[in-house]
Amino acid sequence: MDLSKLKKRPSYPFDTIAVAISFSPRCQSLLAEAKRLSDVLGATLLLLHIGEKTKVKEEELDAIMEAVGVNSNHSRVIWMEGEPVDTILKLCKLNIVDLLVLGALEKENILKFYLGSIARNISRKAKCSVLLITNPSVESVKLKKIIVNGVENPKTIHTINTSLYLAKHLKVKDLSIIKEVDVSGIAMAIADNTTAPQTKEIKKNITDESEETLQMIIDKCDIGDINVTDKIIKGKPGYAISKFAKDKKADLLVINSPDTHLNVFDRIFTHDIEYILADLPCNVLIVHSRV
């Protein structure tokens, strides 16, 4: 494979989609989700199993593929033994994967194969976007609400455009772009001797500046006929938008991939993505912009 194709590769379209198969009780529903997505996007589908290849497993997977209608002409099964995270990442890199689909469970302590530290490591190290599906379904379930994190970051415009690309193909008409304002930052900007009217004015200015910055980002995106709304919410980054997505019963939360180079404070304090991965509010798409 020509690995130079990964450099500066756009975050979309998703030409190659990989799904990690673990033969869990949700294997068939997860494969059905990945298959539908590859059909809609016209993508090649790769099935990855990290573990021993046996005749029993092959027969089981063949039956599952047949049940969900996976076409062998537009898909490929890859078997490889090894440590799950490193092996999955290696296969995605070698096969120029654009989107990796993982089954994720909400606060379930029995099946953890692609959860917890594994999901965190894959999300942080992957050179492709990662879709965590909380409740995969064999039957098609239409997405209605997509929420995108509009954090001020060079990656965000790629994340928003990737979200719009998905929304157009999945026929989702409404998309919300949310920017969090850290309340601790507001508190630091307000001195002890600040009057109530001054405090109100400071908060208003910070909110206005956040709204202007977010609108500037949105203006650069390819919105098309999607109904895009924007909103500023106050709270700890990561936690606030996760709670917002849960309260609004969103179908998909889209966020930037974590920054590769973390500073000392990132290592000491909880990173915003950790709040989301610790308690998934819904399906989560982590967009790797490759910038």
Query: Exposed, middle or buried by CB within 10 Å (0-12, 13-18, 19+), for 285?
Result: buried
Band of residue 71 on the pLDDT scale cut at 50, 70, 90: confident
Class of domain 146-287: alpha beta
pLDDT, one tens digit per residue, over 150-179 is: 998 899 999 999 999 999 999 998 899 999
Q: What is the mean pLDDT of the chain?
A: 84
What is the C-alpha to C-alpha distance for residues 214 and 232, in angstroms, rounded to an integer?
9
Between 110 and 67, the more confident residue is 67
- Burial track 194-207 (b if 16+ CB lie within 10 A, e otherwise): eeeeeeeeebeebe
Which percentage of the chain shows pLDDT scores above 70?
A: 83
Q: What is the tens place of the pLDDT at every residue in 76-111? A: 999 999 988 899 999 999 999 999 999 864 443 444
Give the start-to-end residue ranges of the domains of the chain.
Answer: 3-133, 146-287
Among the listed ranges 6-15, 96-105, 205-214, which one has the minimum average pLDDT value? 205-214
The reported pLDDT for the residue numbered 267 is 42
Q: Do domains 3-133 and 146-287 have the same CATH topology?
A: yes
Q: Over range 228-249, report the average pLDDT.
A: 93
Q: Is the pLDDT of residue 240 over 80?
A: yes
For residue 271, what pLDDT band results from cuts at 50, 70 and 90? Answer: low
Strands 99-103 and 16-20, by their bridges, are: parallel
Question: What six digits make up the tokens of 212?
Answer: 């202007």
* Residue 192, pLDDT score: 62
**Of 104-118, 225-239, 243-257, 277-291, minimum mean pLDDT range:** 104-118
Q: In the predicted model, is pLDDT for residue 196 greater than 90?
A: no
CATH 3.30.420.10 for domain 3-133, yes or no, is no
Q: What is the pLDDT of residue 146?
A: 97
Provide the sign of the torsion angle of the four alpha carbons 218, 15, 123, 243, taken in this order. Answer: positive
What is the rounded average pLDDT of the residues 185-192? 61
Residue 200 has pLDDT above 90, yes or no: no
| 226 or 5, greater pLDDT | 226
Indicate if the pLDDT at residue 4 is higher than 50.
yes
pLDDT at 230: 94
Which segments of the chain does DSSP mark as H helices, in order? 27-41, 55-68, 84-94, 117-125, 156-169, 183-189, 196-219, 239-247, 264-268, 272-278
Q: Is the pLDDT of residue 266 over 60?
A: no
> 213 or 290: which carries more pLDDT confidence?
213
pLDDT in tens, 123-150: 778 889 999 998 899 999 889 999 999 9
* pLDDT exceeds 60 at position 10: yes
Q: Is the pLDDT of residue 37 over 70?
A: yes
